[in-house]
Each structure stands twice: as C-alpha cells, then as structure tokens.
C-alpha cells in the first residue's frame, strides 16, 4: 500500500503536474480540453437562459445572495451543503490537496481554497466559466479538460469533490471509478448536490428535463443531462454521510424550518 504523502509534498506533486500544461486566459489546458465543446456550448446557452451568469462581484459572494435574488432558495441549500463539506474536510489531516471536478463558475472551489495551506485544483469542461473563475478566485488552479478521458495525477489529492456534476456525465459509476486513483491513502471522493433516483422515478424525471430545456430554448441539452440511479453507485460501496429521506433529517428540517440539501451526500474511498 502506498504511503500517504505529507501535505506539502502533495502540493508539490500537483504543481509538478500542472507545470507543463499550456495556459490560456489564466486557465491550464489538458489534452482533452476540447472534447466536450458541444456540451459546453449548449450548457452556456442554458446558463444564460436561466439567469445563471453572475458578475464577478456576485460570483465572489456566492453562495451568499440577496433574498430577492434569482435562485436565492437554491443558493441557501447549496450553502448548507458547503457548510457540511467544509466541516467534514476540516476534521482532516491539516492542509489538504483537493480536486474539485465539474465546478462550473468555481464558487465552491474558492471556498475550498480558503483554509491556510490548501492546494485546490478545479477541473471543468466549460472554458467561459473557467476564465471567470480564474479571475475571481486566484488561489485556485483552474484546468480545462475532461475527467472521463484525461490522465490525472495518481495519489495527489486528499479529497475529490463532485458537486452537482454527475448528471452531466453519461456513466456515474465509471466517472467515480476513474477518479478514485487520484486519492491519497485515506482520502475520499465526495458526491453531493446531485439527484440520484430510484428506478420508478427516472422516467418522470427525464420528461421534466426535456420540458425544462425546451422552455429554455435549448432542447438539445436534454441529451447531455443524465438521470442516474442510486443503485448505479452502490457497487462502489459508498458511505452515506447525509440522506434527506431519513426520518431524523425530516424532523430536524421541520423543527428548524430550515430545509437541508435535497440530495444525498456520498463518500467513496480507494
């Protein structure tokens, strides 16, 4: 079994991996940078139609928003997820090296890079959002690439975060399986803010997705949005760190009148 590296050495390993990559507009580029160009084009059309293109100042504040702002209730739930994740990671082994996969505009990456000594890499397939993220969150190294095809450094990260991304990948279990070797011994891959369905729920969810993207004027995006089953991930033996369907979670939400994140939080180890 590989011996875990000290945090400083992990940061050095990440920097060594990044060093030869070309940089365009402040963003590192992997060989698979253009693999998902059509997805990125449709994705940005949807973001614009949904009103999800914040200014730099608004992005720097996320998940904090004005209560009257568009999507404010959703951001309140994302803030709850962030608090739980930061608390969990804060119980770790000192300064951490973290890979944030499919982070969009990078708001969560920016928070993950907050603790002193943290080394954070953000990997995404959408160039436009990465350029803004690199401008707003300079402590994070942002990388344009494809997690499903690009080679990533083995044993370099204490944590891999996949928040609200698996639905944009066609094979959830394969995506998780490919990223697990990036972890150090004792590290964990976290899947959160991601809808995971039971078999009887999936077809209705697919229809809602088709209707939504049709209303947004981007019907082609429905082909890039996938409805994974919780059962798809069970063979990888995840730990369930949070489940909104559990009775105690429902009771707490009712008593506090503060609903928690609507989706489960799963952790996978090597």
**Statement: residue 49 has pLDDT above 80:** yes
What DSSP state is assigned to residue 104? Answer: T
> Taking the domains of the chain in order of start, what are their residue ranges?
7-264
**What band does 9 get if pLDDT is binned at 50, 70 and 90?**
confident
What 3-state DSSP class applies to 21? coil
Q: Which CATH architecture has domain 7-264?
A: 3-Layer(aba) Sandwich (3.40)
Q: Give me the mean pLDDT over the 216-221 stretch.
A: 98
Q: Give me the mean pLDDT over the 214-234 stretch.
A: 98
Taking the C-alpha atoms of residue 149 and residue 178, their distance in angstroms, rounded to an integer, is: 9
**What band does 4 get if pLDDT is binned at 50, 70 and 90?**
very low
Predicted pLDDT at 258: 60
Q: Give me the mean pLDDT over the 201-218 stretch.
A: 98
Predicted pLDDT at 70: 85
pLDDT tens column, 83-140: 999 999 987 667 899 999 999 999 999 999 999 999 999 999 999 999 999 999 999 9
What DSSP state is assigned to residue 130? Answer: H
pLDDT tens column, 90-104: 876 678 999 999 999
Edge-to-edge strands, sheet with 141-144: 23-24, 27-29, 141-144, 119-124, 97-101, 157-163, 183-192, 265-268, 239-242
**Model-level pTM?**
0.92
What DSSP state is assigned to residue 244? Answer: T
Tokens standing for 71? 């999507």
Crossing angle between the packed helical segments 37-49 and 127-136, to the nearest 10 degrees = 70
Tokens standing for 211? 């209707």
Tokens standing for 149? 């095809």
Q: Give me the mean pLDDT over the 65-70 stretch.
A: 88
């Amino acid at each position: 079994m590989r011996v875990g590296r000290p945090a400083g050495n992990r940061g050095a390993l990440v920097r060594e991996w990044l060093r030869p990559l070309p940089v365009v507009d402040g963003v590192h580029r992997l060989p698979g940078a253009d693999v998902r160009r059509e997805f990125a084009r449709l994705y940005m059309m949807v973001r614009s139609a949904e009103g999800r293109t914040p200014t730099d100042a608004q992005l720097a504040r996320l998940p904090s928003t004005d209560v009257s702002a568009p999507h404010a209730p959703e951001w309140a739930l994302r803030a709850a997820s962030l608090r739980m994740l930061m608390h969990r990671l804060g119980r770790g082994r000192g300064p951490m090296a973290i890979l944030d996969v499919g982070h969009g505009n990078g708001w969560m990456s920016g928070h993950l890079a907050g603790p002193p000594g943290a080394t954070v890499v953000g990997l995404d397939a959408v160039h436009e959002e990465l350029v803004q993220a690199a401008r707003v969150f300079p402590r994070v190294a942002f990388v344009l690439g494809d997690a499903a095809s690009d080679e990533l450094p083995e044993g370099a990260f204490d944590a891999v975060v996949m928040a609200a991304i698996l639905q944009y990948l066609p094979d959830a279990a394969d995506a998780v399986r490919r990223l697990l070797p990036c972890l150090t011994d004792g590290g964990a891959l976290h899947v959160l803010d991601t809808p995971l369905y039971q078999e009887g729920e999936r077809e209705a969810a697919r229809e809602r997705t088709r209707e939504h993207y049709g209303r947004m004027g981007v019907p082609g995006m429905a082909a890039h949005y996938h409805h994974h089953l919780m059962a798809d991930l069970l063979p990888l033996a995840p730990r369930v760190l949070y489940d909104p369907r559990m009775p105690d979670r429902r009771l707490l939400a009712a008593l506090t009148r503060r609903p928690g994140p609507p989706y489960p939080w799963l952790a996978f180890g090597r």
